[in-house]
Amino acid sequence: MSDTMLGLEDKVVVVTGSSQGVGRGCALQFARAGAHVVIVARGLELAEEVAAEVRALGRQSIAVQADVPRKEDVDRMIAAALDKFGRIDVGVNNVGGRGGTPPGTVLESEPGFWRETFEISLFTVLLNTKAFAATMVERQIHGSIVNVASVAALKSTPGIATYGAAKAAVMQLTKTLATELGPYGIRVNAVAPGMVDTKALAAFLTPEERANRVAKIPLARLATPDDIGKAVVLVASDLAGWITGETVVTDGGQSLRG
């Protein structure tokens, strides 16, 4: 597929949580599509390594240390991107997760866990989207925002109920944001991954649990971070130029079997 078809050549993309895992996969796929990428993460050392990988692909990149649930850090992230590139064309809200180790059912967990999960997975999307969109509107950029959701939003998720609920809220929020930002020429979509082969998943599943879950996936393997990155690039690109407010499920058919 040519870079011209994607329309991402020399566009500026900001990817939150991009020092590893899915975020890193997104950053590298955008670079391969011709975009310049701002790497954002809480740890600067790993972020710098990914930025170097982007530059090795022939694109420009900077690393920004930021904890994106914090407004002051988001403001600094935006300022760094604008100082280097003067514009932001695509914002990827990849940061999300649970409030620590899943403690069990709702009866077994506590409000602090629930609040932290919603803070990380939902409030962060709102905060970062407002910053991305304000920058695009001010510069009259017809940009794209992509939210990383989860197939946990589409089914019962015992033990991580608040995570599934927060990701379902992200999917609903994507629709409303698309409606509000559409008049400015800004598209908002989401990608909902299933299980992705990352260090976080390895820490969460035993080898036996992993094998059992892979056996239920029609495509018979876990996703790689690059798989999810390609889907994010697709919905951010000109190929999806008439698509907004949608969630693209990227789970290898996992959700088809419940």
Q: What is the pLDDT of residues 127-157, one digit of tens each?
A: 999 999 999 999 999 999 999 999 999 988 8
* 199-208: average pLDDT: 78
Residue 90 confidence (pLDDT) above 60: yes
Please state, rounded to an integer, the average pLDDT across all residues of the chain: 93
Residue 232 confidence (pLDDT) above 80: yes
Let me know how long the chain is: 258
Query: What was the pLDDT predicted at 113?
Result: 87
Tokens 């997104």 — which residue?
26
Amino acid at 152: A
**Contact of 13 with 38, CB cutoff 8 Å:** yes
Query: What was the pLDDT predicted at 248?
Result: 97
Residue 1 confidence (pLDDT) above 60: no
Tokens 């914090």 — which residue?
70
- Residue 246 phi/psi, 5° resolution? -110, 155
In this predicted model, which residue has the larger pLDDT, 5 or 32? 32
Cross-sheet strand order for the sheet of 12-16: 61-65, 36-41, 12-16, 90-93, 144-148, 187-193, 247-250
- Its CATH architecture, for the domain 3-244, is 3-Layer(aba) Sandwich (3.40)
Query: What was the pLDDT predicted at 186?
Result: 98
Entry pTM = 0.94
Query: What was the pLDDT predicted at 102?
Result: 65
Annotated domain spans of the chain: 3-244
* Percentage with pLDDT > 90 across the chain: 76
Query: What was the pLDDT predicted at 111?
Result: 87
**Contact of 196 with 214, CB cutoff 8 Å:** no
Residue 202 confidence (pLDDT) above 80: no
In this predicted model, which residue has the larger pLDDT, 202 or 27? 27
Query: What was the pLDDT predicted at 101?
Result: 67
Q: Which of 11, 17, 16 shows the shortest CA–CA distance to 60?
A: 11
Active site residues: 163
Report the C-alpha dihedral over residues 161, 68, 179, 164, rounded to 10 degrees. -10
Question: What six digits make up the tokens of 75?
Answer: 């403001």
Question: What six digits make up the tokens of 178?
Answer: 């698309």
Task: Please state, in angstroms and rounded to a whole number, the distance separating the CA atoms of residues 204 and 163.
Answer: 14
Question: What six digits make up the tokens of 240?
Answer: 């999806």
* 28-49: average pLDDT: 97
Task: Please state, in angstroms and rounded to a whole number, the distance separating the CA atoms of residues 231 and 176.
Answer: 21
Question: What six digits make up the tokens of 3?
Answer: 């870079």
Q: Pairing state of beta strands 247-250 and 36-41?
A: unpaired
pLDDT band at 2 (very low <50, low <70, confident <90, very high): low
- Read off the pLDDT of residues 71-86 as tens digits, 9 standing for 90 and up: 999 999 999 999 999 9
